[in-house]
Chains A and B, each alone.
Chain A
Amino acid sequence: MALLEVNQLTKIFGGLLANDHVDLVVNEGEIVGLIGPNGAGKTTLFNCIAGFYPPNSGTVQFKGENITGLPSNEICLKGIARTFQIVRIFKEMSVLDNIMVGAFNRTGSAAHARKQALEVLDFCGLMPKKQMLAGGLTIANKKRLEVAKAYATGPSLLMLDEAMAGLNQTETAEAVELIKKIRKSGVTIVLVEHVMEVVMPISNRVVVLEYGKKIAEDTPEKVIHNEEVIKAYLGDKYHATRRAH
């Protein structure tokens, strides 16, 4: 059964049609990449699923339950955790405390939350930074912490919004490893990225958005040869010259 099912989701901001009847299915255990050029509506779709704002029409179903328009804290309780494109860590709190805030989603006991947070710290490779103030971390570690605290909420679906934007090659590779590890621990992942090189090797399926519409959905290998996708990313000209050869 599908873990997440988005049906005909539409979101309008004023006169802008950010998502136009988008369908999306995420099965359990998958890594789904959500890609598209700037302004394609990836983050909007993401925010509608995570309860940041309600869609104008369409439904979001999670584990067979209608969660459309629920506030984000309730969606987190249901088992969908998200990260933010621009990291939103608690700068004045230590790295461990940041993760504990996430861990409290599943427990009321501080001792239990601390134990879980320590496990997540270790899992995400942030153990050496345990007592540091989160505000003092490097960008790469801030992004890692952003993932770690979402992961600590104990989700069955983790949605990562450009978790690797702004990282160098080594850092990106490390982040990809972490995502694979999280996937192996039994968490389904939806990935928003616009760096194709990152999404392609780890995604089971890739969904491509352009101008708010879904233009393709397939395995990475097929998507990169899809003419519409090439057109969306590289423009008509490239498309035309490619044909001429």
Chain B
Amino acid sequence: MGFNKKYIWLGLGAVIFLIYPLIFTLPFPRHVMIMIFLYATLGLAWNMIGGYAGQISLGHALFFGIGAYTSTLMLMKLGASPWVGMLVGGILSMGVSFIIGYPCFKLAGHYFAIATIAIGEIAQVWMLNWDWAGAAVGLTLPILPESLINLEFHSTKAPYYYIAFGLLILGLLATYGIDRSKLGYYFKAIKGDLEAARSLGINVTKYKFFALALSAFFTSICGSFYAQYVLFIDPDSVFPLMLSVIVCLVATLGGVGTIWGPVIGAFILIPISEFTRIYLGGGGKGTDLVLYGLLIIIISVYQPFGVIGIAKRFRKKESA
């Protein structure tokens, strides 16, 4: 019965989110939801390497930026469809993840996280100075006729909403696939105890590469989507350290190494940031960051397993 119930809830959720744009026709509620979906997908992507495999990356903005810039540059210089750019960006990000993984996977724990911060920052500085790619001025995407192939919609946000929802479903399916397969078990084993994993026949470095490559691919796709949604990118908006931190926080707040954790995290965090920006305006700039800081402290002190951990604890109490 528990199984059927689960499917009913999933179906109900899907229906609610599918009709959401029909109920909320104003751009803002749709925008909030699009951002939630986007960050949930980013959180899911981060979760593959950071949550499942336990390699905390604080440089994921790098892959986000690669995705955004690849699809945009391919559109502007070659006239390629953003969908093609999205795919190429994803593959490029996977390639970059191998180059990064090679030196960085020799580092453990905090040192890995520090190295990823450094790489993310290097990428941002590089992009700020790369004239061909727009440098600090950024790139304004050409306004093309509305169509799915152009991935541009000007009169309504609804198509963006459904595409973002699709990305989230894709991220969930990928996570589900990882969770139930050899990959997921090996990732968790690597997170649990490196030497024990190795002694059980796991090629630790190889599986870390897998985790990072998968994570990079999905993060990059989100970057391409973001570029098409906002139609303007610059190094400050797609390569910031803050983005890497938020993505990590989304997953950590919800529950690392779980399928639904990052989704829950995004549903809590993104509205906080969007609404503080509305109600406090420019004067309240940074309030969301203060709240984030507070949340980080609360999570790490009281509930390292995130919201999912709290939910599990309650469920245990009920059944006991």
Contact = CB atoms under 8 A, between A and B. Distances in A.
Interface of A: 50, 52, 71-74, 76-77, 81-82, 84, 88-93, 97, 100-102, 104-105, 108-110, 113, 149-150, 153
Interface string B162-185: 000000000000000000111001
Interface of B: 180-182, 185-186, 188-189, 191-193, 195-204, 257
A153 B192 contact: no
A145 to B, nearest CB: 11
Given A90-B188, A92-B192, A97-B188, A76 B200 contact: yes
Contacts of B181: 110
10 A-B pairs closest in CB distance: A90-B192, A76-B201, A88-B196, A105-B201, A101-B189, A72-B198, A88-B193, A104-B182, A73-B198, A102-B200
Contacts of B199: 50, 72-73, 76, 81-82, 84, 88, 150
Given A110-B181, A149-B200, A153-B201, 18 more contacts: A72-B195, A73-B199, A73-B202, A76-B200, A76-B201, A77-B201, A88-B193, A88-B195, A89-B192, A90-B193, A90-B196, A100-B185, A101-B185, A104-B201, A105-B200, A105-B201, A110-B182, A113-B185
Contacts of B203: 73-74
B186 A101 contact: yes
B230 to A, nearest CB: 39
Contact of A150 (B180, B189, B195, B200): B200
Contact of B180 (A77, A81, A108, A110): A110
B189 A73 contact: no
Contact of A101 (B195, B197, B204, B257): B197
A101 B190 CA distance: 10
Nearest to A105: B201
Contacts of B196: 84, 88-90
A74 B204 CA distance: 11
A82 B188 CA distance: 20
A101 B200 contact: yes
A113 B198 contact: no
Nearest to A109: B182
A100 B197 CA distance: 12
Nearest to B180: A110
A110 to B, nearest CB: 5
Given A101-B185, A110-B181, A113-B182, A91 B200 contact: no
25 contacts: A50-B199, A52-B195, A71-B198, A73-B198, A73-B201, A73-B203, A81-B199, A82-B199, A88-B199, A90-B188, A90-B192, A92-B188, A92-B257, A101-B188, A101-B189, A101-B197, A102-B201, A104-B186, A108-B182, A110-B180, A110-B181, A110-B185, A113-B185, A149-B200, A150-B200
A149 B198 CA distance: 12
B192 A91 contact: yes
Nearest to A82: B199
Contacts of A82: 199
B121 to A, nearest CB: 32
A175 to B, nearest CB: 19
Contacts of A89: 192-193, 196
Contacts of B180: 110
A108 B186 CA distance: 11
Contacts of B188: 90, 92-93, 97, 101
A147 B185 CA distance: 18
Contacts of B204: 73
Contacts of A150: 199-200
B182 A153 contact: no
Contacts of A88: 193, 195-196, 199
A119 to B, nearest CB: 17
A81 B202 CA distance: 12
A113 B182 CA distance: 9
A158 to B, nearest CB: 12
B201 to A, nearest CB: 4
A56 B38 CA distance: 53
A210 B139 CA distance: 71
Nearest to B203: A73
A161 to B, nearest CB: 11
A84 B193 CA distance: 12
A93 B192 CA distance: 8
Nearest to B184: A110
Contacts of B189: 90, 93, 101
